[in-house]
Amino acid sequence: MSDFSHLGAKATAEIAEVLSRVSGKDIDRAIDMIAGARTIALYGVGREGLMMKALTMRLFHLGLDAHVAGDMTTPPLDSGDLLIVSAGPGQFSTVSALLKVAREAGAKTLCITAQAEGESARAADATLLLPAQTMADDVPAESQAVSVLPMGSLYEGVQYVAFELLVLKLRDRLGETAKTMRARHTNLE
């Protein structure tokens, strides 16, 4: 096995191990919140933000009214709407500010995080815990194992796979198919 293959095997094993610890109740609650929302806005910073954009795209493919918070075409949130944020390490100032605005407007909030006791998670109506290494804990304590992946990459990799699995469950819940999703894919590429 090459060094690249060996690293790949370790990384995918780490992702699988984290996914095995994700709560089915958390997933079901997230699906209920997403399926029941009129409008959905999603937000994350850095590479987490890229994963949130990927989830936004898939929610749109499912026929949901999903937007990336901060884009010029994102509508205001109100009662019946949902803000989904990512705060892997537990808190980001922009995430906290957006949670406050959304809740004051009457929208529900869902925080995706690796730190269930983080400030952002505590401020949200619900949490989807993805218990992976982030930049908050990528420097090992004496007995702590560290991911083969750098910094917060394990969390971000888990996000990508977890979001695609969440979309599969949502697809079934909403009665969508691969064909109906594909029909909503842009033709401007």
Share of the chain above pLDDT 70, in %: 97
* pLDDT for res 142: 58
Give per-residue pLDDT as tens, 67-85. Answer: 999 999 999 999 999 999 9
Q: What pLDDT digit, counting tens, does each position of 101-130 carry?
A: 999 999 999 999 999 999 999 999 999 999
The strands making up 126-129's β-sheet, listed across from edge to edge, are 66-68, 40-43, 82-86, 108-113, 126-129
Query: Could you tell me where the DSSP H helices lie in 62-152?
Result: 93-104, 119-123
Looking at the chain, the whole-number percentage of residues with pLDDT higher than 90 is 89
**Which residue do the tokens 């901060």 mark?**
70
Query: Is residue 141 over pLDDT 90?
Result: no
> DSSP code of 1?
-
Q: Is the pLDDT of residue 137 over 80?
A: no
Q: What does the mean pLDDT of the chain come to? A: 95
Examine the pLDDT at 143 and tell me if it is beyond 60. Answer: no
Spatial distance between the Cα atoms of 84 and 109, rounded to a whole number of angstroms:
6
Domains of the chain in start order, with CATH, are 3-137+148-182 (3.40.50.10490)
pLDDT digits (tens, 9 = 90+) for 10-25: 999 999 999 999 999 9
The pTM score is 0.95
For residue 170, is pLDDT > 70?
yes
Q: Is 16 exposed, middle or buried (0-12, 13-18, 19+ CB in 10 A)?
A: exposed
Q: In terms of Cα–Cα distance, which of 18, 66, 15, 19 is closest to 43?
A: 66
Cβ–Cβ < 8 Å for 61, 177:
no
Q: How far apart are CA 81 and CA 65, in angstroms?
A: 10
